[in-house]
Amino acid sequence: METLYTHGVRMAESLQHGTKSYERFWLVITHLGDPKAAFLLVFPFTYFVSKRAGIAVIWVAAISEWLNLVLKWVLFGQRPYWWIRETGFSAKVNQFAATCETGPGSPSGHAMVTAAVWWVVVSTLSRAIKSKTNSALIAALPYLFYVALLVAVGLSRIYILAHFPHQVVAGSITGLILGVVLGQRVPEGRSLLFFCKISFGLLLSTVLFHVALQQIGVDFSWSIAVAKKWCSRAEWIRLDTTPFSSLTRDCGALLGLGLTQHWRPRGWPLPMGYRALSLALSSMGLYHVNRLPLPVRPLSLFYCLLFLKFVIVPQLVMVLVPGLIYFVTNKKKD
């Protein structure tokens, strides 16, 4: 394992020195691979093109990020930025604002969620292309983009010292498998009770798992402690990178998805032009929802508000904005 860590740090060092002029590119890519981007960026774009694919994106994103949390608690992976300081390893590397995540490092959540979510997107796109062109070569192009995206996200995580290479590879492979499996089982048209069971079931089972492991002496706060100790700037430590933030985000999004299908199971019948308008307005709304500051004390209040914030995300995209546009446009017709 020490050899993997050593080679990983050397790779990060080479990337930082050899591609220094592309620093902005790497930072943009790592933000694109953030699991939050699956909910706030990929989901609305996909939904207004294909309702089923949009539902699949938010479903796959939530389940894959939740599983990533459980795997991180079990595997206890180090992160390069704190491993270098803890061991005194000699390397000329820099940290960035996106570096200082507080959860364990294995497997990479960015790689895992990106691989799972974008598999849904590119496979849907590929099928659509093949049905219209009947060309297997053209239909394969989305998969080339998929591979390039995974490589770019993985390298960006290594570049900013958030992950070792083997953690990125593990996350990508696991995410690909989840994307293939979960993408075939989209809970479209399921009852609100189904989503309530999934949401609160994941929340309760994870909390009980956490408590059980604590009782046998497993310390889950170790990664948060070393992150705070070795992060270059205190303000780079963010509460929304903690494992329980991921959990509340996923459970909130799943409950929100269930509510949208309960209130408006078939969505709103909008033509393509109005869908584009819905996408623009939804994206603006999600931008402001994401920027909404939450109090960090007490912690229970922060997690409750974060849960509610992501309950709102599907409502905004699937019900509120399209419903408003449908109401206004049909009122004008009348």
Binding site residue list for substrate = 79, 157
Catalytic choice (110, 210, 262, 288): 110
Active site residue 163: yes
Residue with tokens 């799943």: 254
Q: Is 211 exposed, middle or buried (0-12, 13-18, 19+ CB in 10 A)?
A: exposed
DSSP characters for 111-158? HHHHHHHHHHHHHHHHHHHHHHH--HHHHTHHHHHHHHHHHHHHHHHH
Closest CA to 186 of 138, 235, 137, 257: 257
d(CA 332, CA 329): 5
- What DSSP character marks residue 21? G
- The letter for the amino acid at 264 is R
Residue 210 gets the label, from left (phi > 0), alpha (psi -120 to 50) or beta, of: alpha
Annotated catalytic residue 262: no
Q: Is the separation of the CB atoms in 166 and 8 below 8 Å?
A: yes
- Residues at the annotated binding site? 79, 157
CA dist 151 and 243 (Å) reads 25
Q: Of residues 163, 166, 210, 288, which has the active-site annotation? A: 163
Cβ–Cβ under 8 Å, residues 23 and 92:
no
Active site residues: 110, 163
